[in-house]
């Protein structure tokens, strides 16, 4: 949908001033490596979910400067004609590696690496961040909410509170990847295969002389999916009795009630009793009132009788933490074919970047297939393996552990080779299934909402030594 | 940009099931009135800012069902052929009234009213909410941040943390309406005339052997806007000294430094002193590190030496309150030309809707041109005016006030007449200027961040009586 648009100019203006600057400094073709990574898991969670890569691929495949773009830049009177001519003939030639969508991800891991002429590898920063930050935020939040629902389906209902059209569409996509069962957003179904569902608003009920008449008409038209909204006037006094009357009379194939206000724990328990006593044990109860993972966990503990959830604004905006703070940092240069690792120093030790061209391995226990740790290694290093492989905490290297009987999986795939896309995105169903399966392989301790055990993300010995060497070099300055 | 797309299917699925339902019930052409309004000002503020109307107009002008849309709906096997044929020939025929963009708005006021066949006036709910909720959220947040900055320019820097492409583009537009001086987002400049600016990232500095060389090259290329990012290594030990050396050597026309990390109050005071002592009193200091209205207010009180602010993620996501909770409710029906007001009852008195077809007047003091109150009236009532006009608190009617020497301004304009657009959106500069001027007319007490005085939004006597009559009727049921 959105990818049909030319979004080349959807960029921070400084990417263009820098591009022109590199061009004017004769540095345009210097080869640079940039890593996208994030530093903190939203909501203090134990892991995040990677999402948005398919849209990054669409964006990179479509990257070009139109005459309209060039004319716009020309009017700024700060760019050279030579540079504008370069943009006119621009063709993306970088290599790109990435962690596939649906993968549980952790702080510091290079989610995406772009290698190529700095004029290009720098330029794509804004959109890579925008797309991955957004969808990873929503996939992560959805995964938490779905986890809280404990097997009950969760529908994404947030379109009207999303931050604009793409937030609604790609938010629905990301929520589905994170585990939602579907969405209210019709276009996400048409364009991305996220099953869309919906029944009625309060206004449907208000349009008829009585609740009963509104329900009865709905049941006549939609006998196969007759979910009635019972809280327009009074859930227990009028809504549920009218629904029962209509179920009795019309005997719809699939029946449900939805409650969108009030104390859902109390109301669902009472409604369940009324429905059961009327012989409608098969009537599902759907709830959809300002929910998130905390409220869902609470009402389930309270014994609420709920079969499925509709979650709106708190999912589609990730209300409790609406920012996924991914960053895009220079990690290496190539000069005359030699790799020069680059580091960004900070007084905050956790903000110091990992230098060099890297990949990430996830280590699994051979017997349980559960994860043990992730290890970031330098390109060209052998995969972690063998007898007595040692992992260690990079901030406290005396904390070490010998591993045996494990296997290592390289989390990253190559996505572009010299500007050519060499990766085919899996279907959304495959991504969703992969996410569910990979999250299930994590330690149980990383799943809880409060103070989850931090997952191990270690550095290989080689990378750790390179990093510390660069820090010491910096300190000598 | 986005409006070039066919977003007709960007809708909650239930709008379509209801549309088909009305069609099948032979109610499609019943005339219904829907109001969009909101209930709570984000961040506990004193007022919000209306934004997004231009995009609503684009959406309504472009509303149509393509063959692709019809095919998608057909595959659901729940819609009648007759209905799908209706969609194929769909033409928007409703009347629409709205409060123009940039206007300070308050809870309960009908921001938009749609009158027309219920099959249509219901259908447009999702997108009206989506567009107005998003842009009003960001315009409101921007207005708060700009207020905190006390006259210092604020740039919108959040593209990379926006919730997708339209959140970045229309967020930049809304932030500009709310008072920002410009944006980092290039496409918002190209398409909406929001001035975009940008200079360099840390990677620019890292690409050169030294900070000095990176700055010097930049000053050569951009002598007219030489703002140097001084915190890649160490602000006071290396960044500012290198900037001063380059300013001395290159004498750029406009010079500035930007600090993107660390304690900005401390660093800007020290940097200001160093710059002044070196004779660069004209060097501007820009700050851009996780700012919002609270931090900006604090560092100004602390005496930070800051000339302008760049505000990113906390503005573009409205981080402290990322939901603008606008709703869309049925307010009246027409049966055989007679208006039947509709009300939605709630146990929470503030959630009871205002029935009927309404408009909003803002009353201004004739001497000061400051606002006095807003009054919601029924259509056809004379504008508030005359001697001893009485306003009263609709929740506590003994609180009343006699007004003299005031004038009333109808806040709403007609936007569509039988599906024909009859309103031309002002330019973005006009909207921005209108916003600034209208906000300045508010009481000072509504401007503060903590516990602002709630602004008076009263009901006319006629509307109040109609509402209470309907509540009593409901209670008799």
How close does chain A come to B158, measured CA to CA in Å? 9
Three-state secondary-structure class, residue A369 = coil
Average pLDDT over residues B187-200: 95
Nearest Cβ partner for B159 among A12, A224, A344: A12
Sheet holding A338-341, edge to edge: A338-341, A327-335, A31-37, A112-117, A95-98, A413-417, A420-421
State the Cα torsion A271-A274-A276-A280 to the nearest 10°: -80
pLDDT of amino acid B4? 66
**A213-269 pLDDT, tens per residue?**
999 999 999 999 999 999 999 999 999 999 999 999 999 999 999 999 999 999 999
Task: Provide the number of structural domains found in chain A.
Answer: 2
Do A41 and A122 share a domain, yes or no? Answer: yes
Do B260 and B345 share a domain, yes or no? Answer: no
How close does chain A come to B376, measured CA to CA in Å? 22
Instruction: Report the residue of chain B nearest A25, measured CA to CA.
Output: B217
Q: Do A10 and B68 touch (CB under 8 A)?
A: no
H or E stretch covering A119: helix A118-121
Sign of CA dihedral A297, A299, A301, A307: negative
pLDDT of amino acid A123? 98
Length of chain B: 477
Percent of residues in chain B assigned helix, strand, coil, to nearest 5: 40, 20, 40
Do B125 and B203 share a domain, yes or no? Answer: no
Nearest Cβ partner for B122 among A125, A203, A262: A203
Rounded to the nearest integer, the mean pLDDT of chain B is 95
Do A272 and A326 share a domain, yes or no? Answer: no
Do B337 and B446 share a domain, yes or no? Answer: yes
Residue with tokens 């219920």: B118
How close does chain A come to B463, measured CA to CA in Å? 20
**A380-433 pLDDT, tens per residue?**
999 999 999 999 999 888 999 999 999 999 999 999 999 999 999 999 999 999
In a domain, B153, yes or no: no
Asked if the model's pLDDT at residue A1 lies above 60, the reply is: no
ipTM of the complex: 0.97
Do A281 and A340 share a domain, yes or no? Answer: no
Report how far residue A70's alpha carbon sits from residue B450's, in angstroms, rounded to the nearest whole number.
47
H or E stretch covering A420: strand A420-421
Do A336 and A451 share a domain, yes or no? Answer: yes
Q: Do A199 and B16 touch (CB under 8 A)?
A: no
Contact between A154 and A291 (Cβ < 8 Å): no
Asked if the model's pLDDT at residue B289 lies above 90, the reply is: no
- In this structure, what CATH number is given to the domain that contains residue B234? 3.20.20.70
Rounded to the nearest integer, the mean pLDDT of chain A is 95
Three-state secondary-structure class, residue A398 = strand
Do A263 and A330 share a domain, yes or no? Answer: no
Contact between A310 and A157 (Cβ < 8 Å): yes
In a domain, A165, yes or no: no
Nearest Cβ partner for B190 among A72, A313, A346: A72
DSSP A170-183: HHHHHHHHHT-SEE
Average pLDDT over residues A106-121: 98
Average pLDDT over residues A126-139: 98
Average pLDDT over residues B142-150: 98
Do B258 and B374 share a domain, yes or no? Answer: no
Calculate what percentage of chain B has a pLDDT beyond 90. 94
Nearest Cβ partner for A171 among B5, B163, B324: B163
Strand segments, DSSP code E, in B411-469 are: 413-417, 420-421, 457-459
Sheet holding B413-417, edge to edge: B338-341, B327-335, B31-37, B112-117, B95-98, B413-417, B420-421
pLDDT of amino acid B449? 93
Asked if the model's pLDDT at residue B347 lies above 80, the reply is: no
Q: Do A198 and B322 touch (CB under 8 A)?
A: no
Asked if the model's pLDDT at residue A474 lies above 90, the reply is: no
Contact between B342 and B335 (Cβ < 8 Å): no
Report how far residue B180's alpha carbon sits from residue B177's, in angstroms, rounded to the nearest whole number.
7
Strand segments, DSSP code E, in A262-370 are: 284-287, 308-311, 327-335, 338-341, 358-365
Q: Do B171 and A164 touch (CB under 8 A)?
A: yes
Give B-chain residues touching A133 at CB under 8 angstroms: 160-161
Length of chain A: 477
Contact between B19 and B69 (Cβ < 8 Å): no
| Angle in degrees, CA B441, B443, B444, rounded to 5 | 105
Nearest Cβ partner for A190 among B18, B72, B330: B72
Q: Report CA-CA distances (Å) from A376 to A91, A110, A128, A373, A470.
A: 31, 8, 21, 10, 17
pLDDT of amino acid A421? 98
Q: Which domain holds residue A98?
A: 2-138+322-476
Calculate what percentage of chain B has a pLDDT beyond 70. 99
- In this structure, what CATH number is given to the domain that contains residue A334? 3.20.140.10
In a domain, A374, yes or no: yes
Asked if the model's pLDDT at residue A270 lies above 90, the reply is: yes
Do A472 and A372 share a domain, yes or no? Answer: yes
Asked if the model's pLDDT at residue A57 lies above 90, the reply is: yes
Average pLDDT over residues A352-358: 96
In a domain, B166, yes or no: no
pLDDT of amino acid A266? 97
pLDDT of amino acid A34? 98
Average pLDDT over residues A90-100: 98
Instruction: Count residue pairs from A and B with Cβ separation < 8 A.
Output: 298
Contact between A202 and A189 (Cβ < 8 Å): no
Phi, psi of A383 (to 5 degrees): -60, 145
pLDDT of amino acid A289? 84
Report how far residue B190's alpha carbon sits from residue B132's, in angstroms, rounded to the nearest whole number.
22
How close does chain A come to B391, measured CA to CA in Å? 31
Give A-chain residues touching B138 at CB under 8 angstroms: 163
Average pLDDT over residues B343-350: 82
In a domain, B96, yes or no: yes
Which domain-ending residue is among A289, A311, A341? Answer: A289
Q: Do A125 and B15 touch (CB under 8 A)?
A: no
- Report the candidate in A424, A75, A97, A142 with the shortest Cα–Cα distance to residue B196: A75
How close does chain A come to B386, measured CA to CA in Å? 38
Asked if the model's pLDDT at residue B345 lies above 90, the reply is: no
Q: Do B163 and A162 touch (CB under 8 A)?
A: yes
**A271-283 pLDDT, tens per residue?**
999 999 999 999 9
Instruction: Report the residue of chain A nearest B332, measured CA to CA.
Output: A207
Nearest Cβ partner for A118 among B184, B207, B325: B207
Nearest Cβ partner for A233 among B198, B329, B345: B345
Nearest Cβ partner for A7 among B21, B165, B204: B165
Which domain-ending residue is among A267, A289, A311? Answer: A289
In a domain, A182, yes or no: no
Contact between B200 and A18 (Cβ < 8 Å): yes
Asked if the model's pLDDT at residue A374 lies above 60, the reply is: yes
How close does chain A come to B275, measured CA to CA in Å? 24
H or E stretch covering B285: strand B284-287
Give A-chain residues touching B68 at CB under 8 angstroms: 190
Q: Do B344 and A12 touch (CB under 8 A)?
A: no
pLDDT of amino acid A214? 97
Average pLDDT over residues A121-135: 98
Instruction: Report the residue of chain B nearest A9, measured CA to CA.
Output: B187
Residue B333 C-beta-side C-alpha neighbours within 13 Å: 17
Nearest Cβ partner for B130 among A17, A162, A199: A162
Which domain-ending residue is among B282, B313, B335? Answer: B282
pLDDT of amino acid A3? 58
Contact between B367 and A241 (Cβ < 8 Å): no
Calculate what percentage of chain A has a pLDDT beyond 90. 94
Q: Do B78 and A224 touch (CB under 8 A)?
A: yes
How close does chain A come to B186, measured CA to CA in Å? 5
Do B327 and B267 share a domain, yes or no? Answer: no
Report how far residue A348's alpha carbon sits from residue B263's, in angstroms, rounded to the nearest whole number.
13
In a domain, B159, yes or no: no
Do B334 and B259 share a domain, yes or no? Answer: no
**B43-93 pLDDT, tens per residue?**
999 999 999 999 999 999 999 999 999 999 999 999 999 999 999 999 999
Give B-chain residues touching A62 at CB under 8 angstroms: none
In a domain, B133, yes or no: yes
- Report the candidate in A70, A122, A53 with the shortest Cα–Cα distance to residue A92: A122
Average pLDDT over residues B268-291: 97
Report how far residue B6's alpha carbon sits from residue B235's, in angstroms, rounded to the nearest whole number.
49
State the Cα torsion A295-A297-A298-A299 to the nearest 10°: 90
Report how far residue A212's alpha carbon sits from residue A220's, in angstroms, rounded to the nearest whole number.
12
**B167-178 pLDDT, tens per residue?**
999 999 999 999
**B361-405 pLDDT, tens per residue?**
999 999 999 999 999 999 999 999 999 999 999 988 899 999 999
Give A-chain residues touching B171 at CB under 8 angstroms: 163-164
Give A-chain residues touching B69 at CB under 8 angstroms: 190
Which range is least confidently modeled, A3-17, A86-100, B253-267, B380-394? A3-17
pLDDT of amino acid B3? 58
Q: Do B166 and A170 touch (CB under 8 A)?
A: no
Three-state secondary-structure class, residue B214 = helix
Average pLDDT over residues A322-348: 92
pLDDT of amino acid B204? 96
- Structure token pair of residue A282: 């098969």
pLDDT of amino acid A2? 56
| Angle in degrees, CA B120, A221, A213, rounded to 5 | 85
Strand segments, DSSP code E, in A27-94 are: 31-37, 48-49
Instruction: Report the residue of chain A nearest B160, measured CA to CA.
Output: A130
* Residue from B77, B111, B203 to probe the interface with A (highest A Cβ count within 10 Å): B203
């Amino acid at each position: 949908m959105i990818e049909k648009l030319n979004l080349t100019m959807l960029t921070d203006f400084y990417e263009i001033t820098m591009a022109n600057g590199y061009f004017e400094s004769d540095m345009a073709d210097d080869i640079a490596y940039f890593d996208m990574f994030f530093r903190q898991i939203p909501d203090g969670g134990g892991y995040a979910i990677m999402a948005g890569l398919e849209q990054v691929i669409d964006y990179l495949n479509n990257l070009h400067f139109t005459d309209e773009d060039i004319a716009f830049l020309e009017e700024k009177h700060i760019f050279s004609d030579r540079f504008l001519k370069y943009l006119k003939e621009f063709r993306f030639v970088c290599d790109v590696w990435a962690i596939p969508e649906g993968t549980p991800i952790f702080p510091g891991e290079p989610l995406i690496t772009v290698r190529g002429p700095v004029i290009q590898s720098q330029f794509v920063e804004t959109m890579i961040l925008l797309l991955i930050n957004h969808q990873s935020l929503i996939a992560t939040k959805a995964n938490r909410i779905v986890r809280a629902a404990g097997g009950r389906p969760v529908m994404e209902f947030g379109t009207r509170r999303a931050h604009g059209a793409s937030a609604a569409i790609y938010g629905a996509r990301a929520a589905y990847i994170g585990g939602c069962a579907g969405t209210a957003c019709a276009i996400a179904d048409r364009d991305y295969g996220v099953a869309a569902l919906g029944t009625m608003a309060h206004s449907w009920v208000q349009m008829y002389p009585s609740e009963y008449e509104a329900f009865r008409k709905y049941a006549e038209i939609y006998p196969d999916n007759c979910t009635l909204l019972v809280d327009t006037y009074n859930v227990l006094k009028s809504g549920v009795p009218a629904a029962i009357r209509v179920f009795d009379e019309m005997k719809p194939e699939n029946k449900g009630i939805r409650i969108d206000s009030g104390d859902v724990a109390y109301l669902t328990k009472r409604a369940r009793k009324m429905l059961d006593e009327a012989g409608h044990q098969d009537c599902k109860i759907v709830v959809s009132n300002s929910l998130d993972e905390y409220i869902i966990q609470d009402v389930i503990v309270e014994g609420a009788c709920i079969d499925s959830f509709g979650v709106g604004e708190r999912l589609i905006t990730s209300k409790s933490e609406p920012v996924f703070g991914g960053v895009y940092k220079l990690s290496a240069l190539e000069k005359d074919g030699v790799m020069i690792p680059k580091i960004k120093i900070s007084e905050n030790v956790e903000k110091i970047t990992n230098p060099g061209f890297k990949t990430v391995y996830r280590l699994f226990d051979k017997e349980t297939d559960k994860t043990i740790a992730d290890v970031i290694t330098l390109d060209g290093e052998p995969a972690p393996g063998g007898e007595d492989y040692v992992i260690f905490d990079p901030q406290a290297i005396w904390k070490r552990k010998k591993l045996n009987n494990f296997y290592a999986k390289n989390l990253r795939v190559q996505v572009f080779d010299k500007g050519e896309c060499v990766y085919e995105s899996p279907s959304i169903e495959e991504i969703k299934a992969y996410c569910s399966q990979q999250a299930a392989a994590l330690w149980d301790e990383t799943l809880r909402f409060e103070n989850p055990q931090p997952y191990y993300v270690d550095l290989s010995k080689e990378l750790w030594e390179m990093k510390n060497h660069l820090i010491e070099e910096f300190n000598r300055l």
